[in-house]
A and B are shown apart, each in its own frame.
Chain A
Amino acid sequence: MSCHVVREHAGAGPAVLTLRSRPLRVALVGQPNVGKSVVFGRLTGRYVTVSNYPGTTVAITRGRALVGAQVCDIIDTPGVNALEGDVSEDERITRDVLTSDGADLIVQVADARNLRRALMLTAQIAAFGKPMVLALNMVDEAWARGISIDAADLSAVLGIPVVETVAIDGQGFSDLREALARAAVAGAPVGRTSIDRAAWANDLTGRVRRQSTLSLSRIPDLIARATRQPLTGLPILAVVLYALYLFVGVFGAQTLVRLLEDGVFGRGINPASIWLVDRFMPVPFVHDFLVGQYGLITMGLTYAIAIVLPVVTTFFLMFGFLEDSGYIPRLAIFCDRIFRVMGLNGKAVLPMVLGLGCDTMATMTTRILGTPKERLIAILLLALGIPCSAQLATILGILGGVSLAALMTLFVVVLGQMFLVGWLAARVLKGDRSEFIMELPPIRWPRLGNLLTKTRLRVWWYLGEAVPLFLAGTVLLFVLDRLGALIWISRVAEPVVTGLLGLPAATAQILVMGFLRRDYGAAGLFQLAHSGQLTGVQAVVALTVMTLFVPCVANFLIMVRERGLRVGLAIVGVITPVALLTGAGLNYVLHALDVHF
């Protein structure tokens, strides 16, 4: 199966398909949530995040695959509903791959249950004049719904290979690999209006698709209905949030953290490191640097591994489960009206909820939103109010030990601020919001294998991203402390920290570190709270300020990359005073009302 074969069958295909020195570039294109990333993983052996909602993939991923004797570059693309007209930013990325001659061959991955829509896209892909293959994926789910497709007839009409696959199980992949060599330019209507394409797709679907009247009411379908109707959906949401709290807030942030912090680090690693350092390098400087108050091991590693890691892990597990079940997009129905006040629509629930995992990744997911204004507001609100998993760790760790009322106060204040800032931004910023039109993925049982792989990769990613910054922050603190700058910072910030916010002076340095990574700052608060230096009210105020800060350096850099330096700086310029003023206001109100948590 060499490229010669490809050319023979490619007909009018581009001449670049002759003997090549570079790999054959195969782009996987298709509607959102049809399983392109699973196909990518099957072909390349590389894992990219797979979830059960449209918009998981918002950037291009490439991977090598050997198909027969041909080396291929497989390109995973964001899902597209259309390649023409007004498209969202993630769709534009895919269109650019096709228009910029970034691909030699296209595999259209389609949801077999929804052939009509797939064919409308086929017609648009055909317009690019590249050889293609159609993979009807998830045929098992189609069969379960009584749908069958005459692939041979469809192939004859389109003039391209059509294969049926179940990517998640690897079914049909030898057929798919073999079909790549026979890829051809599709004989679909080219260059007509969308209505013409729709009529063509209607006719063709009627010809090759058989729908038996059997319609089984499957349990997932019942769950799907229950989750979107208010009477059952809202109680289900409450149960989900409570389960999240129990698993992450109690089991992760308290049981596991205590085990690691007091047990593994408190009794094992830290005393052992102190003993080792004092035994073999009895230099005061080395002692302080590694195992002192601002020591790399006793502070940096302890924060990253003992305090934050357990919560990040439990959170990613639970979160992955929710992602793969298809539950999260259903929340959009309930959020739509509230989000509209903030210049967004229900679709924004996806980046917002994803932000609980990582604000930086969620900032990229805002590409699925319809207008620049919506993207800007979503990015602003993510940076302002959505605590990422690592920060959630410290919030739950500290306030879980104070009281539920303290936790609620924090969430109410933060959500209130997001609402207020969103409302203002919707009025101040120019532009429109887009209309709420959203596809709801089916409810599916999550696959344990995917869940574990995804969680493992995310935990690794956390370790790679956060731990170095935690260590760098610790070194910075150590240096500042040595230079006497910490005392200076505390003194300069004292009017704000102790005066306005009513916090102990020691919090100043923690707030400064919060600029680097807000979960790092929060981890500092955690230790302060643990040693009894913070009252309940102080903990709530400090955490509120920290939550409202810009999440971390990485998040700032992504904001700059997505929206430019000016916007990035403007967002920081808005958020910082909002955070401090909110903290000051909260401190004032809590004291005026004489609240004790």
Chain B
Amino acid sequence: MSCTLLTFTSKAVPLSSLAVGQHGLVSSVSGAPTGRSDRLVSLGITPGAVVTMLQRFPGVVFFCDQTELAVERAVADAILVRPMEDVR
């Protein structure tokens, strides 16, 4: 899962819109509740981090740095990623 084999499109979309198995490059974390972005950053969800969607229902589960993270929908909506296309 090396990034060199991947290219990404430029438009940022919510993490929640990724399909299962799709990769994304985190561009920013938005949203009002204070502390949300701090918590996500401390879990490694920082600009430049690569995430992979694992599951969308009943909760969103994604992979980042060898860690599986489960979040509720509202959080997944607030993480903006640039989807990556696998060119292999």
Contact = CB atoms under 8 A, between A and B. Distances in A.
Interface string B60-80: 010001111111101100000
A116 B42 contact: no
B72 to A, nearest CB: 4
A217 B49 CA distance: 23
Contact of A437 (B39, B46, B54, B57): B39
A200 to B, nearest CB: 11
A454 to B, nearest CB: 24
B68 A436 contact: no
B59 A346 contact: yes
A545 B55 CA distance: 41
B19 interface: no
Contact of A436 (B2, B35, B44, B75): B75
A229 B58 CA distance: 8
Contacts of A142: 66
Given A345-B72, A439-B68, A334 B58 contact: yes
B44 A336 contact: no
A194 B69 contact: no
B75 A346 contact: no
Contacts of A81: 39, 42-43
Contacts of A85: 35, 38
A117 B58 contact: no
A435 B66 contact: no
A437 B47 contact: no
Interface in A73-121: 81-82, 84-86, 111, 113-114, 116-117, 120-121
Interface string A137-149: 0000010010100
A86 B41 contact: no
Interface in A213-253: 213, 215, 224-225, 228-230
Most buried by B among A81, A85, A117, A439: A117
A372 to B, nearest CB: 14
Given A202-B48, A435-B36, A117 B43 contact: yes
Nearest to A117: B44
Interface residues of B, number: 33
A44 to B, nearest CB: 28
Contacts of A346: 59, 70, 72
B34 interface: yes
A97 B9 CA distance: 46
B50 to A, nearest CB: 11
A2 interface: no
Given A229-B55, A336-B72, A346-B59, A437 B44 contact: no
B40 interface: yes
Contacts of B72: 336, 340, 345-346, 435-437
A437 B38 contact: no
Interface string B1-42: 110000000000000000000000000000001111011111
B74 to A, nearest CB: 7
A337 interface: yes
A28 interface: no
A129 to B, nearest CB: 21
Contacts of B70: 228, 332-333, 336, 346, 436-440
Contacts of B2: 211, 213
Interface in A175-218: 194-195, 198-199, 202, 211, 213, 215
A225 B20 CA distance: 12
A84 B71 CA distance: 22
B68 A440 contact: yes
A95 B39 CA distance: 16
Given A198-B47, A345-B72, A437-B40, A116 B55 contact: no
B65 A435 contact: no
Given A194-B41, A333-B58, A202 B46 contact: yes
Contacts of B49: 116, 202
A194 B67 contact: no
Contacts of A202: 46, 48-49
Contacts of B1: 211, 213, 215
Given A82-B42, A194-B41, A437-B39, A147 B48 contact: no
B75 A195 contact: no
Contact of B44 (A120, A213, A215, A345): A120
Interface string A425-450: 00000000011111110100000000
A111 B38 CA distance: 20
Contacts of A84: 38
Contacts of B40: 437
A114 B1 CA distance: 15
Most buried by B among A340, A345, A346, A437: A437
B73 to A, nearest CB: 9
Given A82-B38, A114-B67, A213-B1, A437 B43 contact: yes
A345 B34 CA distance: 17
Contacts of A195: 41, 46-47
B25 to A, nearest CB: 12
A220 B38 CA distance: 31
A112 B72 CA distance: 27
Nearest to A121: B42
Nearest to B48: A202
Nearest to A440: B68
Nearest to A441: B68
Given A333-B70, A435-B33, 19 more contacts: A81-B42, A86-B39, A111-B66, A114-B65, A116-B49, A117-B43, A120-B46, A202-B48, A333-B55, A333-B58, A336-B58, A346-B59, A436-B72, A437-B43, A437-B69, A438-B70, A438-B71, A439-B68, A439-B70
8 contacts: A84-B38, A147-B66, A198-B48, A199-B46, A211-B2, A228-B68, A334-B58, A439-B68
Return the 9 tightest CB-CB contacts between A and B, nearest first.
A198-B46, A82-B42, A81-B42, A436-B72, A113-B66, A440-B68, A86-B35, A117-B44, A333-B59
